[in-house]
Amino acid sequence: MNTKAERLAELIKELRGAISQRRFSQQLGVSKSCVNFWESGLAFPDTENLEKLAAFKGWTLAQLQTYLVIGELPSDEPLQQILSLLRSLPTDAVVQVASAAVETLASRSKSPQTASK
């Protein structure tokens, strides 16, 4: 299972288990054809429906997106979640994160009280 669409299809099959596509689609509030297309890799859910799928799994949208893009299951450790999300961001967003990290380190090096926290 390599592609985002393949990972999504497997996840949907896992989430719906033994229930029909029709019943699962009703639970999600989408048409049966949506679930069918997602499972067959012919279409990809929009953000709203990805959020619903993430909630069914007990994940956040970011965790689901990390799983779909990278193929790794979300970690319960917050730092690992952040690092996984960071790896999936576009370059301009990574630059913003790096800039914020440098600013934070610089401000902490000036203030010994916050550096020890």
Residue-wise pLDDT tens digits, 81-115: 677 677 777 889 889 999 999 998 998 888 665 44
66 with 91, same domain: the answer is: no
62 with 91, same domain: the answer is: no
Spatial distance between the Cα atoms of 30 and 49, rounded to a whole number of angstroms? 8
Spatial distance between the Cα atoms of 93 and 110, rounded to a whole number of angstroms? 26
Predicted local distance difference test score (pLDDT) of residue 72: 75
Q: What is the 3-state secondary structure (H, E, C) of 23-47?
A: HHHHHHCCCHHHHHHHHHCCCCCCH
- Total count of domains within the chain: 2
Per the structure, the complete domain to which residue 79 belongs is given by 75-117
Give the residues of the chain that fall short of pLDDT 50.
1, 114-116
CATH of the domain at 61: 1.10.260.40
Residue 68, number of CB atoms within 10 A of its CB = 20
User: What residue has token string 């499972």?
Assistant: 39
On whether the CB atoms of residues 107 and 113 are closer than 8 A, the answer is no
pTM comes to 0.61
Predicted local distance difference test score (pLDDT) of residue 47: 94
Q: Quick one: tokens of 57? A: 């799994």
